[in-house]
Structure 1
Amino acid sequence: MPRPKILVLVTAIALVAGCNGGGGATGRVQVFVEAEDTIPEGLQAGDGEENIVDGWAANYTKFLVVVGNFRAGRSADASASLADPAVYVVDLLNLPAGGFVLTEFDDVEAVRWDRVGYDIPNASAAAEAAEGTSAADHDFMVESGFSIYVEGAITKADGQSCLPGTDDCVAVAEVKFAWGLAAGTSFDDCAPEEGDAGFAVPSGGTAQIKPTIHGDHWFFTNITQGAEITERRAQWIADSDLDRDGSVTLDELRMVKAADVFKPELGYSVTGAQIPVTTAYDYLEAQARTLGDFQGEGECPTRAPL
């Protein structure tokens, strides 16, 4: 059974009270789950930094993720900690306005909390349904044990699908995908795109913290661990439609050799992947293990499989 919400909050508040010691200025912390724009808005073809450069566009019709176990600490005081172990299945295409409130902390010491992390774990019976997430989607994720599930399509009016490693190509304008992954990962040492790591709590005010889930990393040509210096390409998805039925399955991805679609001459590199990358499926999973970011475009560079 899911953990009762009241027990989660009581645990979190008790931890906060324990580290404050009852003195000094305090403030509040609100933690929101936020979807990067690429999830509700998709990605467009073009030559801009956020575009897919090989002419494909991409859109999602479903994007489910499991998020939780938010934590924060301070390098200057190892005994100080904020923690809420609650985990949620979140429908990122049906978020409440302003994002889903993952957790809140009151009476937090008004200093910088520079050690921040959270998890994208594989769903278990302890995961709750976030606001905006249907019971059916929650149950599907829990029963499947997925950390993430996406449905969508790439489109290109003059697109082609070429069998990997060959010149055997056919015209295709749309290729669909529906992928569920058990790629549980922890994300730590989170920092905004600019400025110091973690977050500062204002005296008498509220710090709003936003773990941000990105939707474009499997289009990247490398495994980023800092600034997202990369191109975005989607041809590998089209080429992985081995039976040419207009849909790419995970089984098809497992049959595609990474070397046949992620070529260095196109800028691809698998350096930094948490798992060995020998197939297209491995590349997808490796990128799924990088989706957790912070405060929009900030990074959580310390990642570990769960």
Structure 2
Amino acid sequence: MPRLQQVFVVVTAITLVAGCNGGGGATGRVQVFVEAEDTIPEGLQPGTGEENIVDGWAADYTKFLVVVGNFRASRSADASDSLVEPAVYVVDLLNLPVGGFVLTEFDDVAAVRWDRVGYDIPNASAAAEAAEGTAAADHEFMVENGFSIYVEGAISKADGQSCLPGTDDCEPATSVKFAWGLAAGTSFDDCAPEEGDAGFAVPSGGTAQIKPTIHGDHWFFTNITQGAEITERRAQWIADSDLDRDGETTLDELRMVKAADLFTPELGYSVTGAPIPVTTAYDYLAAQARTLGDFQGEGECPTRASL
């Protein structure tokens, strides 16, 4: 994955006090941030590199809204010990506050490993709050539509073409826009960093920074990742799904395109492990939208369930 946005915080030492471990032992503090992968503010570039779009398209976002919340953590060693924050927020990932959006904080937390961690990307409801940096109009829009995610942007390529799926009928298309809102609510559990043990450890007298990380490139993947993101990134399917060739690929158009005409094994595609049946291009988008929640940047939350 690309370099992630840096979140700068002041880590404050605290006095050792009896905390939620109930045993009067060492404690620390936990801060939970919502973080955007760099593909969201910086887009994706064409090329042959591991992080590039290999079929020559560039991609950029002009809006990226997501609903995040219901953070939870517990310990296998003591199931009665838990950290829970049920609050849910609409977050504008292109307008995060300086230092990142703090989802929640916990004080006097047992200074041990919390190995069972999860959070949700739910469909927006009236209970969802607007995060700092999120416009009231965007919050209202997400709640009214019950979306879990909404993105606007475009793919571009100087010599790009749009080819009707399953045919050789192609026309020039140097830029194709998209504006997609999805009610693809999903829970993410058993979160673990890219390396090391599951969950996080709280340092005695210090602060653990926990970062649910939202990724912005999964619908360009050629497979449905459930662990290490070993995949290529392709965008031609978006251009080919612009059936009326007006320069924008809509959700209605995606619903009309057979997945088998776009996501072929010859191009390296596989829908094995998709969280929903994939019969149309819309299904492929919705399936990938249910995989966007990661942990500590590159880490994964492999246990996913529809909400």
**Normalised by the size of structure 2, how large is the TM-score?**
0.94
- Kept in 2, the 8 Å contact 1:13–1:105? The answer is no
**Identity, % of aligned positions:** 90
Which residue does the alignment assign to 1:280?
281
Query: For 1:107, what is the secondary structure of its paired residue?
Result: strand
| Cα distance change on mapping 1:227 and 1:2 into 2, 3 Å | closer
Q: What's the offset of the Cα at 1:226?
A: 0.3
Equivalent position of 2:134 in the other structure: 133
CA distance in 1, matches of 2:160, 2:7: 52
Deviation at residue 19 of structure 1 after TM alignment: 4.0
Instruction: For residue 20 of structure 1, report the CA deviation from its aligned partner.
Output: 2.2
Unaligned 5+ residue runs, structure 2? none
Q: Is the 8 A contact 2:65 2:92 kept in 1?
A: yes
Per-residue CA deviation, residues 63-115 of structure 1 (Å, 9 max, x unaligned), is: 00000000001111111100000000000000012210000000000000000
> Could you tell me how far apart the structure 2 residues matched to 1:7 and 1:207 are?
13
> When the two structures are aligned, how many residues end up with a matched partner?
305
Structure 1 residue runs of 4+, over 3 Å off?
5-19
1:2, 1:126 within 8 Å by CA — same for their partners in 2?
Answer: no
| TM superposition shift of 1:168 | 0.2
CA distance in 1, matches of 2:187, 2:204: 30
Shift of residue 21, structure 1, vs aligned partner: 1.2
Tell me, yes or no, if the aligned pair for 1:31 and 1:209 is still in contact at 8 Å.
yes
Residues 255-299 of structure 1: CA deviation (Å, up to 9, x unaligned): 000000000010100011110000000000000000000000100
Q: Of Structure 1 and Structure 2, which has the larger fraction of its residues in helix?
A: 1
CA contact (8 A) 1:16 1:82 kept: no
Normalising to structure 1: TM-score of the pair?
0.94
Q: Which runs of 5+ in 1 are unaligned?
A: none
CA 136–216 in structure 1, closer or farther in 2 if over 3 Å, else same: same
> Aligned partners of 1:2 and 1:265: how far apart in 2?
26
Contact 2:14 2:206 in 1 (8 A): no
Partner SS state of residue 14, structure 1: coil
Q: Distance between the aligned counterparts of 1:113 and 1:297, measured in 2? A: 19
SS at match of 1:151: strand
Q: Judging changes above 3 Å, is the alpha-carbon distance between structure 1 residues 156 and 76 closer, same or farther for their aligned structure 2 residues?
A: same
3-state SS, counterpart of residue 142 of structure 1: helix
User: Over residues 176-209 of structure 1, what are the superposed CA-to-partner deviations in whole Å (9 max), with x where a residue is unaligned?
Assistant: 0000000000000000001111000000000000
Contact 1:240 1:256 survives alignment (8 Å): yes
Instruction: Go from structure 1 to structure 2 and tell me whether the alpha carbon gap of 1:24 and 1:177 turns closer, same or farther (over 3 Å shift).
Output: same
In 2, Cα distance between equivalents of 1:164 and 1:6: 42
2:193–2:295: 8 Å Cα contact kept in structure 1? yes
Structure 1 residues 281 and 303, CA gap change in structure 2 (3 angstroms): same
- Shift of residue 228, structure 1, vs aligned partner: 0.2
